[in-house]
Structure 1
Amino acid sequence: MSHNRRFFLKTLGLSSLAFPLAPAVVAAPEPKLPQDVSVVRLSGRVLANGQGLANVAVTDGINVVRTDAKGRYAFDSPATAEFVYLSVPRGYAFPHERGIARFYRRIEPSGGQKQFKADFELEPLSGDDTNHHFIVWADPQIISKEDAAQLKTVSAPDTRALVDSYPQGTLLHGIGCGDLVWDHFELFDDYQEAVATTGIPFFQVIGNHDMDLEARTDDHSANTFKERFGPTYYSFNRGEVHYVVLDDVFFIGVAKQYIGYLTERQLAWLEQDLAHVPEGHTVVVSLHIPANTGQIRRNSTREKIEPSLGGTVANRKELYRLLQPYRAHILSGHTHFNEKVLDEEHENVIEHVHGTVCGAWWTGPICYDGTPSGYGVYEVKGGDIAWFYKSVGHDKTHQLRLYPVGAVPEKPDHLVANVWNWDPQWKVEWEEDGQARGEMTRELGYDPLSVELHQGDQLPKKHAWVDPQLTDHLFFAQPSPNAKHITVRATDRFGNVFSEHIALPMG
C-alpha cells in the first residue's frame, strides 16, 4: 500500500470492517462533540426570613419547576444551560445591585461534579403590591460619553423626579427595553450609573445594539449582555400582574444584521412559564423589536419601502397564540417612534411601541415622528393598567404639540396637532374663539418640527441619515378666516384631558 493511499484512507476515516488488515491506519478518531450533552443536577432553596417559599417558579431557561413546601427545588439541566433563576413571586422585593435586577445565578459546577447548588433569599415587601407602577426606557442607545452624559444628567434625573412625585412607599420598577447602548459595550457602565440615579430596580431587555457582532451565530451574540445582566428571557411577578421579558433579536452572523424572531427554545419555555398563570390575568411582555407596527402600512401609501425582517417579529402569531387566554400588553422599542398597535384579530392584546429616551439618536428633543424624547409610565391597580407618555423636561400633562395654520405644506389652510400617545379610544376636539367645533380629522403625515430638524442631507448635523417618519397621530382642523384663538383638547382613554392653545395672526 503506497504512502499516498494510506494517507487517503486515514483521512477518510474508513472503518476497520472494510479494511481489517490495517487497523492502525484506518481507525476512526474519537468524535469531538460541539457541545457538552451531559446533564447537571441543579438544586437549592428559595427562602424568605430563613423560611422556605413554596410554589416559586425556578428555571434554567429550558425547564420550569416549582419549589416544594419547604422551598426546595431540584432538577436535571443540560450542561449547556448558563443560568438558574427564579420568577420573583408577588409580595417580594426585586433583588438588585444599584438598580440592576439580580434574580439569577450563573451555573458553575465545581470540582468536576455535575451538580450545582444555588439558594435564593428574598425580602418580603412591607406592604401590599396589588397597586404599583413601572417605567419603560426604550433605546437609551448611547454611543459616546457625550450621549451618556445626557442620559445621566438629563433623562435619569427626570425619571427620578417622576418617581419622587409619587407618594412615599409607592412601588415602582423600570424596564430598559433594549438598545441600552449603541454597540459600545464600555458604555454599559454609564447606563448602569443612569439606572442607579432613578432609585428603582430595572429589568433589562436585549436589543440589536446590545449584541456581540463578532459572534458566529445567534447562540453567542448575547455573551456580553449576559455577563452584565444575566438571562435574556425570564419572568417576574408583582401584584396581580405577570411580567415576561423576551429576546426577539435573532442575529444572523453578519455584523448588524438580524431579524425579529422568537426561537423555539423561548416559546417552549414561555409555554411552561404561563402554564401556572390563571386565564384572564394580566400579562405584560417586554421585548425590543415590536411584535407588530403600522409602519409598513404607512410607508406603502407614499414611499413603497420594502418591509424589513428586522422591523417586526416574523413569528408573532405564536406569541399571540400563547397570550390568547390573558389580558396582554406588549412593550417594545426599536423604532424611535411612538405608537399603539391594536389588532382586531387579537383584541386581548395592546402593543405599546415606545418613543425613545434618546429621541432621534440624541440629535435633539424629539423622535422622528415628533414624539418628544421620553419614556412610558404605567400605573397598575390590580389587573388594570393605565398609562401615559412622559416627555423629558416637560410636565406629565404635556401630551400634544400644536402647530399654526400652514405648518404642513400639503394642508396650507389647516392647523395641526401631534398627539403622540393617541389610540382609537382618545378624542381630539377643537374650539374656535370659544365655540366648540367638534373633533379634528386624523390624517397621515410628517410632524412639522421633525421636518424642520431632520429633513435634508445635512440634517441633523450629528446624524445626517435621520429623516422624518410618517405618523398616524396628526390631527387637522381648518379655522375660519377671521378666527383669533384656537384651543385643542385631547381626552385620553382614561378620561384625562390635555389642552394647548394658539393665537392666530390678524388677517
Structure 2
Amino acid sequence: MTKTDANGFYWLNSEKRNELAFVILPAGYDVPTVKAMPQFWQPCTLDANTVEQLDFQLLRADNDSHTMLVATDMHLANRNSPKDYVQFADGFVKELTSAYNSAAPGKVYCLNLGDFSWDGYWYDNKWALPECKQSVEDFNFQMWSVMGNHDNDPYVASDFGAEGPYRQHMGPVYYAMNIGRIHYIMLDNTEYLNTGGSQGTVGSRNYNRRFDDRQLAWLKEELTHVDKSTPIVVGCHCPLYSYSGSGGVSVALQTQADIDKILSCFAGFSNVTFLTGHTHVNRNIQSPTYANVYEQNIAAVCGTWWWTQQYGNNNVCTDGSPAGYKIFTVDGTDLKWQYKATGLPIEKQFITYDMNEVKEYWATDATALKAFAAGNDLRNRDKDYSTVGENAVYINVWAYEPGWTVSVTENGTPLAVKQVWSKKDPLHSISYDIPRGAANNGTLTFPSTSCMHMFEVTASSASSTLEISVTDRFGNVSTESMTRPKALTTDVTK
C-alpha cells in the first residue's frame, strides 16, 4: 500500500503477487465505468523485477448523497427452467435498469456480495464469470463486487490459485473505496480448499469461512488512513453470525477466534455495518461481543437457486422471503435501508398466513400427502404445524430487525403478538418442498429453513378481518387488511 504525492503520482514496490493494482477511491471522486464495472484496478503485465506504469483516472463526483443497492447470490449457471439467466434478466436486471439507469452519475451504485456465478457449472455449462458480467452490462451504474465461495475455479485445489479467474475478470478480492462520506471495505472470507480438484476435475468445492492473515494485515494498515468517526460498511460473502434456538446468536465463521481477528480491527470505530450473503435468508444481528458492529445478512437474488419459478411461479428464499435486495439511502453520514422484494412494491414487507387454511392444506392436498408419504427429506413434515392452535395467523416479516413493531387488531381490539422461532414458512414449502418432494421421492436439495422472523396472533374466530401494521426502525409503515379465511397460494402478492 502506498499514497500518492500532492500531484497524484505514486511509487509502489511490490512482488506483484496478485498481478494487479488498485486505487482506493478518495472521497468526492469516482472512476470511469465500463459496462457496469468500475475502473479502479489495472492488471500487471510485466514481471515483478520490471517497473511498469499503471494509471488511474479519477473523476470529481458529488456523491455525499447516494443510493447503494446491495444484492447477493445471483448463482448464474445456465441451468433450471426457465433458465436462471432469463429469470435474472426478466426480474432483477429489468427492475434495476428501469428504476435506476436514468440516475445522475455518482448517485446510484450496486454492491454484489458474491456467488455471482456457480463454480460447479463453470465448465459443464460453459457459464462462468465472463458470462455473468455480460448479464449486467446494461446497468448504467457501477457494480462493485466481492467474491463468494462459488466464484472460485473448481479445477484448482488452493485458495489463492482458485481466485485467479476472479482477479482476471473482476479485480481484487479485497479493496476499499470512499463513496461520499462512507468508507466501504470489500473483503473475502472464504478460504477455498476444493479437495480433489485438478485440471479437468472439479473438486469437492469445500471451504472454510474466515479472513486470512494477509488480508487482515492489509485491513489494519488500510484503516489507519480512516478517521474513527467515519461510518464503515464492510461487504463480504459469508456471515459472521447466525441464530441458534429461540433468538440466541452463534458464530457463523469457523471459530470465535476468527470473529475476534476481524472485528478487533475496527476498535475505536463507532459505526460498523457488515453486509453479508451466502445463506439465502434475511437475518439482522447485533454482534453480542462488539457493540460497534451490526450485521445485515441479506436474502438471495436467486431465491432458492432459481427453483421456485418452476413449481410456484415465484422466486422465494428458503425462509419465505421473496428474492430481492436491500436499498441503502445515504445522506452524508446517515444511512437508512429497506428490503426490496424483486417485482413487489417496496411497501410490501410481509406476508400473512391463515393457519387454519395452512393446516387444512397439509392434511388434504394430494401433492402434499404424496410428498409427506415419500419420507426422506420430508419425513415428519406432515407435523410441521401440528401444535398450532385454532384461528392462529402467522406473519412473516421478511427483514425484521430490532426496533421494528408488529401490531394487529381484530374489530378494533389489539391482539397479542409473539415471535415464533424455528417454524418453516408455508409459502416456501408449497413452492418448493412439497412439489419437488412429490416429484423426487421426497429428496430435496434446498429444503425450507427455520424462519427467524415469523410472528403469531390468535384471532377470536375463523372469519374475522385483521388489520396488520408493521413499522420499521425508520418509520416506514406496511399494512394489510387480512380477510379470512385466506387461502394458501404461491402468489406472493397476496
Q: Same fold (TM over 0.5)?
A: yes
Aligned to 1:171: 107
Q: Following the alignment from structure 1 to structure 2, what is the Cα–Cα distance between the partners of residues 300 and 348?
A: 19
Q: What per-residue deviation string (whole Å, max 9, x for no partner) do you get for residues 17-68 of structure 1? A: xxxxxxxxxxxxxxxxxxxxxxxxxxxxxxxxxxxxxxxxxxxxxxx21111
Secondary structure of 1:390 counterpart: strand
Is 1:267 the counterpart of 2:216? The answer is: yes
SS at match of 1:72: coil
Which segments of 5 or more consecutive residues in structure 1 lack a partner in the other structure? 1-63
Deviates more, 1:354-363 or 1:481-490: 481-490
2:17 pairs with 1:80: yes
Structure 1 position 98 matched with structure 2 position 60: no
In structure 1, give the amino acid aligned to 2:4. T
The percent identity for this pair of structures is: 26
1:315 counterpart SS class: helix
Letter in structure 1 aligned against 2:396? N
Matches within 5 A, 1:40-55: none
> How far apart, in 1, do the equivalents of 2:340 and 2:176 lie?
25
Note closer, same or farther for the CA distance 1:442–1:410 as it changes in structure 2 (3 Å cut). Answer: same
Of 340, 352, 355 in structure 2, the residue corresponding to residue 402 of structure 1 is: 352
Q: Are 1:222 and 2:163 an aligned pair?
A: yes
Correspondence 1:128-277 to 2 at 5 A: 128-144=62-78, 146-163=83-100, 171-183=107-119, 184-185=121-122, 186-254=127-195, 255-277=204-226
Contact 1:235 1:242 in 2 (8 A): yes
* 8 Å CA contact retained: 1:291, 1:313: no
| Inter-partner Cα distance in structure 2 for 1:193 and 1:233 | 22
SS of the equivalent of 1:196 reads: coil
**Residue among 266, 278, 291 paired with 2:240:** 291
Distance 1:258 1:108 in 2: 30
| 1:43 aligned partner | none
Structure 1 CA distance for aligned equivalents of residues 206 and 49 of structure 2: 39
Give the strand-richer structure, 1 or 2: 1
Residue 476 of structure 1 aligns with an amino acid whose one-letter code is E
Q: Secondary structure at the match of 2:13?
A: strand
1:324 aligns with 2:267: yes
Tell me what 1:389 maps to: 339
Q: Secondary structure at the match of 2:260?
A: helix
More displaced, 313-322 or 473-482?
A: 313-322
CA distance in 1, matches of 2:468, 2:235: 33
- Give the match for residue 24 of structure 1: none
Pair 1:461–1:362, CA change in 2 (3 A): farther
- Give the C-alpha shift of residue 448 in structure 1: 1.2
Alignment match, 1:473: 453
Instruction: Note the C-alpha offset of 1:498.
Output: 0.4
Q: Could you tell me whether the CA contact under 8 Å between 2:240 and 2:252 is conserved in 1?
A: no
> Residues of 2 paired with 1:236 and 1:71: CA distance?
17
Q: Does 1:65 align with 2:10?
A: no
The structural deviation recorded for 1:437 is 0.7
CA 1:78/1:189 → structure 2, altered by over 3 Å: closer, same or farther? closer
Corresponding pairs, count = 432
SS in 2 for 1:231: coil
Cα offset, 1:194, TM superposition = 3.0
Distance (Å, rounded) in 2 between the aligned partners of 1:235 and 1:170: 17
Aligned residue for 2:234, secondary structure, equals strand
Matched ranges for 1:372-451 at <5 A: 372-406=322-356, 407=358, 408-413=385-390, 414-433=392-411, 435-437=412-414, 440-444=417-421, 445-451=423-429
One-letter identity of the residue aligned with 1:488: I
User: Where does residue 358 of structure 1 map in the other structure?
Assistant: 302
Moved more, 469-478 or 136-145: 136-145
Of 421, 425, 433, 1:455 maps to 433
- Rate the CA distance shift 1:153–1:197 in 2: closer, same or farther, 3 A: farther
The farther-off stretch of 141-150 and 394-403 is 141-150
Asked whether the 8 Å contact 1:135–1:378 carries over to 2, the reply is yes
Bigger Rg, structure 1 or 2 = 1
Distance between the aligned counterparts of 1:80 and 1:168, measured in 2?
A: 37
Shift of the 124–377 alpha-carbon distance from structure 1 to 2, 3 Å rule, reads: same
Amino acid across the alignment from 2:50: K
**Equivalent residue letter for 1:193:** Q
Deviation at 1:424, TM superposition (A): 1.4
Q: CA RMSD in A?
A: 2.6
Q: Summarize the Cα distance change of 1:174–1:117 in structure 2 as closer, same or farther, 3 Å threshold.
A: same
Q: What amino acid sits opposite 2:180 in the alignment?
A: G
CA distance in 1, matches of 2:415, 2:223: 45
Structure 1 residue 262: deviation in Å?
0.5
Give the C-alpha shift of residue 282 in structure 1. 0.5
Gaps of 5+ in 2: 196-203, 309-314, 359-384, 487-494
Greater relative contact order, per chain length (Cα 8 Å cut-off, separation 6+): 2
Following superposition, the deviation at residue 307 of structure 1 comes to: 8.8
Is residue 94–residue 201 contact of structure 1 (8 Å, CA) maintained in 2?
no
Structure 1 range deviating more: 169-178 or 203-212:
169-178
Deviations 1:399-426 (A, max 9, x none): 0001113334432321010001000110
Q: Contact 1:354–1:376 (CA<8 Å) still a contact in 2?
A: yes
Alpha carbons of 1:417 and 1:368: their partners in 2 closer, same or farther (altered >3 Å)?
A: same
Supply the distance in 2 between the matched residues of 1:309 and 1:328 (Cα, whole angstroms). 18
